[in-house]
């Protein structure tokens, strides 16, 4: 009698529920990764712009980037991705993409104004 009273759940319902929840989780994880990547690219571009303006056209002397990298590591222990090489690559990233971004922004403004 106890076996008859036990109702077995329909595994198809559970499969559908698991699939729906799984898709929501994966979609959310993908969105989070996109947002993080966008924010990191924005940060790298901004740092690159700042470093470019000060090291190429500004007042910084030799070894400025090395000094900044060292100070960042001291003030933010455990910080990764801001070595001298990485900061120089951020500057290069900015300098390579700045003309493209400025050009596309100018095109977009002209399009909106017409």
Domain boundaries, the chain: 11-113
Separation in Å, CA 89 to CA 10, 31, 32, 101: 56, 26, 25, 18
Query: d(Cα 90, Cα 98) in Å, to the nearest integer?
Result: 12
Burial class of residue 90 in the structure, from the number of CB atoms within 10 Å of its CB (0-12 exposed, 13-18 middle, 19+ buried): buried
Report pTM: 0.72
pLDDT band per the 50, 70, 90 thresholds, residue 113: low
- The answer to whether 57 and 66 have CB atoms below 8 angstroms apart is no
The tokens for 4 are 């008859």
Residue 7 is classified by DSSP as P
Query: d(Cα 85, Cα 81) in Å, to the nearest integer?
Result: 9
Nearby residues of 93 by Cβ (< 8 Å), 6 or more positions away: 44, 45, 48
Q: What is the pLDDT of residues 32-80, one digit of tens each?
A: 999 999 999 999 999 999 999 999 877 888 899 999 999 999 999 999 9
Q: What is the pLDDT of residues 77-95, one digit of tens each?
A: 999 999 999 999 999 999 9
């Amino acid at each position: 009698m106890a076996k008859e009273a036990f109702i077995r759940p329909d595994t198809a319902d559970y499969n559908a529920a698991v699939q729906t929840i799984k898709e929501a989780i994966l979609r959310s994880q993908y969105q989070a990764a996109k947002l993080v990547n966008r924010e990191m690219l924005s940060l790298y571009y901004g740092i690159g712009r700042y470093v470019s303006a000060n090291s190429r056209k500004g007042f910084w002397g030799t070894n400025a980037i090395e000094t900044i990298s060292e100070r960042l590591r001291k003030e933010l222990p455990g910080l990764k991705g801001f070595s001298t090489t990485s900061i120089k690559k951020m500057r290069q990233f900015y300098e390579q993409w700045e003309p493209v971004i400025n050009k596309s922004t100018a095109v977009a403004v002209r399009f909106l104004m017409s």
